[in-house]
Structure 1
Amino acid sequence: MTSKPAPARHAVRPLTEAEEAVVRALPLLINALPRAIDAVMIQEQQMSATEYLALMHLSEAPDRRMRMGDLSAACDMSLSGTTRVVHRLEREGYIERVRCDRDKRSYRAALTDSGFARLEEAWPSNLAALRRHFLDHLNGIDLKTLAAALGKVAG
């Protein structure tokens, strides 16, 4: 059995102080930001941030409809989690589940007019929370460059 040689010590660069700060802050952001937005949305709109995201993605989809799997991917949730969210929104009259035309076994989530109106009502709270808890802290930072870098990391 052949083992790989250990990488040369000089090939690994230690983190700079700035790099270390970013690496340590990122997990905090990933956890804290969604919680903060969710808390605002629940307090002000009696709607979770996840419910808001589902309505938002549906509003942007062709005919305001998405296959459940596509909605799951857009919301970065499991299919079962998305189904629970859709059921809650369906009970409120914001979403309808409709059978797919081509595949009668699967469903699409469809945003209702009431759901679109609810999204428009909740939008200012979501936007204010995003600004207060995230964007307002990025003054002086090139947001296009930041967005491109984050996209590279995520992609």
Structure 2
Amino acid sequence: MKLDNLWNGTHWNDDGELEVLTFDLNGETFALEAVMVQEILDILPETAVPGSQPFVGSVINFRGKVIPLADLRLAFGMEAAEATIDSRIIVIELDLQDEPTLVGLRTDKVNEVTTLAKASSEAPPSVGMRWRPDYINCLVKRGGEFIILPNLQAIFSARQNKALSA
């Protein structure tokens, strides 16, 4: 893979495209690189972890393994919400501290696997964003909407560092 195809941790292919899974959070459309996604699950019973950060406040049983369940709504400063019939958990593999780690992400709704074009992407604006710009790899315009590609490395690293210093 050519280095010029790497933009803030997003791996565009040589044609300038990226295959993603799109999902909704609080009326916004987000996307994750499809290669990260291990499975999409219906809502599962979760176990609260006393003393943990609210962002990753519980764990779930995924194929006999205990994995953290993260709520990206809280990372982005959104209100927590109750699960609905459309809510799903996306299980991803993320490299945390140079170790592959399975993490579940709560979503309001999973939409589709689609291809995004790098030509339609841009860095998050430094002014006027309601979210931390370092938590966003890029925004991709599709139709009349923007799809947000979150920077999961930054989100989880910041949260992990915050937990260690507490």
TM-score by length of 2: 0.24
Larger Rg: 1
TM-score by length of 1: 0.25
Give the number of the structure whose residues are more often helix, by fraction. Answer: 1
Give the number of the structure whose residues are more often strand, by fraction. Answer: 2
Higher relative CO (Cα under 8 Å, sequence separation at least 6) belongs to: 2
